[in-house]
């Protein structure tokens, strides 16, 4: 990866963009010149956040997107098509962890007893929603001269590291969350191969261990630092990678 590019004239959509890594990704892309659309489940909060960023001179809009609601995906397509006629950058940022409140406290492996509802709800939000929204918006991304799709994964989705007893994540067995991110990584690999002969690049990123509601207050990075990998993947040059898994410029094991 290389340093972030000027994004003047580009249109970006960031799901889950009202707080945390998502908000800082919105801010960072807008500071580079993009028009950024915040997609959020809470429409009023999205309007409020967009208004605050506009006061800073940034080009930010908002729409309601509950990633689990098909109709919201369709409405997002219609909004982007009618207002911009394309989508240059899609950041699939929204996600949940239901295994436990955050990963900054001791993790108990309860794979054998985890309620199936937690597994299904996690996959709905972290995997199926990302796939569906991307599929619906892909015709608009194809209209971009250099489309970029960024899937917010996690190092906890690495099967290589989870199967290594010497790995630093070996004991962090939050099954539903981890498996949903592994599945999202598989989507990245498959979609990137399908689009390999187009200008579109598809990558998964690990933002790092970030001080958010999910990461907890003992995490290594603040939210601005946590947004850097998303912004780098969204601003890849023509010769940049596709179908990869990255933290900043470092490739990660699947």
State the greatest distance between any 2 C-alpha atoms of the chain, in Å, as a whole number. Answer: 52
Cα–Cα distances (Å) from 117 to 44, 70, 98, 114, 178, in that order, read 29, 20, 10, 8, 15
The sheet that has 89-92: what strands, in order across it?
A: 60-64, 35-40, 11-15, 89-92, 148-152, 201-205, 245-247, 250-251
Question: Where is 100: in which H helix or E strand?
Answer: none
Catalytic residue among 77, 79, 84, 177: 177
Q: Taking Cα atoms as reference points, which of 18, 9, 85, 21 lies closest to residue 231?
A: 21
Instruction: Say whether 177 is catalytic.
Output: yes
Instruction: Tell the residue number behind the tokens 């997002």, with chain if given.
Output: 76
- Residues designated as active site: 177
């Amino acid at each position: 990866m290389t340093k972030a590019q000027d994004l003047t004239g580009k249109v970006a959509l960031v799901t889950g963009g009202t707080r945390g890594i998502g908000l800082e990704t919105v801010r960072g892309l807008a500071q580079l010149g993009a028009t950024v659309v915040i997609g959020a489940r809470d429409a009023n909060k999205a309007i409020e956040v967009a208004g605050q960023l506009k006061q800073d001179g940034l080009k930010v809009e908002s729409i309601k997107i509950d990633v689990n609601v098909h109709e919201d995906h369709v409405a997002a397509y219609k909004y982007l098509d009618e207002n911009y006629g394309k989508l240059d950058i899609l950041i699939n940022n929204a996600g949940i962890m239901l295994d436990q409140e955050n990963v900054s406290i001791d993790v108990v492996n309860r794979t054998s007893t985890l309620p199936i509802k937690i597994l299904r709800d996690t996959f709905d939000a972290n995997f199926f929603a990302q796939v569906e929204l991307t599929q619906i918006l892909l015709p608009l991304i194809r209209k971009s001269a250099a489309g970029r799709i960024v899937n917010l994964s996690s190092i906890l989705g690495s099967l290589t590291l989870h199967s290594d007893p010497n790995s630093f994540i070996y004991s962090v067995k939050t099954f539903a969350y981890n498996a949903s991110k592994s599945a999202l990584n598989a989507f990245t690999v498959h979609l990137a191969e399908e689009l390999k002969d187009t200008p579109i690049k598809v990558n998964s990123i690990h933002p790092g261990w970030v001080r958010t509601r999910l990461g907890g207050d003992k995490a290594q990075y603040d939210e601005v630092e946590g947004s850097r990998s998303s912004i780098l993947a969204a601003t890849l040059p023509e010769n940049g990678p596709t179908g990869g898994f990255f933290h900043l410029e470092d490739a990660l094991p699947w």
